[in-house]
Amino acid sequence: MNDFNENNNEIKTPSKPRKEHLTAKVAALIAAVAIVGGGSGFAGTYFASRQFSNTVVEDNVPDTNNSTPSPDIDTSAPTPTLDDLQAGLSAPTANTSTEIEYNSDGTYKYTRDLVQAVSDSIVYIDVSIDYNGSKTLYSRGSGVIISKNGYIVTNNHVVESGDYFSVKVNDNANGGESKTYDAKLIGTDSDTDLAVLKIEAEDLPAAVLGDSDKLHIGDDCFAIGNPLGLETSVSKGIISGLNRQVNTANYALTSIQTDAAINSGNSGGGLFNGYGEVIGIVNEKYVSSYAESLGFAITINDAKSVIEDLISKGYVSGRALLGITYTLIPESYASRYGIPAGMQVKSIDSSLAISKSGLKVGDTITEIDGQSVITGDVSKILAAKKPGDTVTLTVVRSGSSANRTEKIEVVLSENTGNT
């Protein structure tokens, strides 16, 4: 039996340092690369992104100290809003000696001019882990500069396993050299697969965030990122679909579908419209023996509120939390051993409201507000709630008959990402 929290995430024992899991990680990475090359599962279908889509393995990477350290972020300074960060940014213009031509709707006529104008807003991210006291490269991905002072948005699955982060910023448009910075992880959100990094720099080539609600199927789009380590690679396509529901473990993302080529390492890069504005954050591709050219990006309008919360709070606000860990007892196991099926409580967070509800360790929760936790998805039940809401738990008390139940009212707390 595995332990879970109420978001249906398996509880990992924190006492073991990450470096002890490197062998398993490497084995999983090798398997993932093989799957990407040859297909997987029934008809070879699966979504390639999340943990392994951008992964490379490079043992014993030395710390060359060629990056610019980022000092600690000044937490006493007022937290900027996304509007503050985007203030003063205007539609990008290519730095070229020839006159730029535009279409009648204001979009770039030539892809080369658009790419020259926006490509420097895409950064190359190296993610390293601490392995036996040595800084070891673990994975690589892409990111989008969203402010001149160094805020960068990327995917959660790009950074989630890392201990150290470095960001390479290019200055191709002005003929300058690239520069690498140490980056600080500001916040992550696994539900929306978004994360924010911060480097200490000024006058960076920040991208302008567009309006993904104005997209139409058939619009041109451009994916810019670092697939397979090939820096600032560009692929062109169209918007193939809108409002696609792509499910993560606990959340349904509203995504843009595109036929622009998406490959390992594009994760966290930008999907641009014809005006040179970011309309999505690339995070997924569909791999199947029956399908090709199915790439997906998180809509920038959905991403904006998440980005703001990650910058200001380090987590996404407004999500309800019960405040327990539990073992899920399936009906087959329960009938075999004569115990109640449901969520058997393993621990209760003493700092949250649930600790005052009367719920006890060893109790088994069978329903939340009348919805079964055995056949239903606990995370989806809680997703419909807000912090401060009161829910009624149907509970079988430890040591009592399986037919005797109690009703316990619990006030939901806010999930700050720390439990």
Locate tokens 């539900």: which residue? 191
Torsion-angle region of 377 (φ positive above 0: left; ψ -120 to 50: alpha; else: beta): beta
CA 238 – CA 271 distance, rounded (Å): 11
193 included as an active-site residue = yes
* DSSP state for residue 353 in the 8-state scheme: G
Copy the structure tokens of residue 176: 């300058």
Q: CB of 280 within 8 A of CB of 307?
A: no
SS3 147: coil
- The residue among 403, 318, 324 whose CA lies nearest residue 357 is 324
Closest CA to 224 of 183, 172, 261, 195: 261
70 is catalytic: no
| Distance from C-alpha of 339 to C-alpha of 220, rounded to nearest angstrom | 58
| Alpha-carbon distances of 248 from 153, 154, 271, rounded to whole Å | 19, 16, 20
Strand, coil or helix: 151: strand
Residues 6 or more apart from 200 whose CB is under 8 A from it? 68, 70, 71, 73, 150, 181
Which position among 120, 157, 255, 264 bears the catalytic label? 157
Catalytic residue among 113, 126, 189, 193: 193
Residue 267 annotated in active site: yes
Looking from the CA of 121 toward its CB, the CA atoms found within 13 Å total: 32
The one catalytic residue among 49, 53, 235, 267 = 267
Question: Which residues are the active-site residues?
Answer: 157, 193, 267
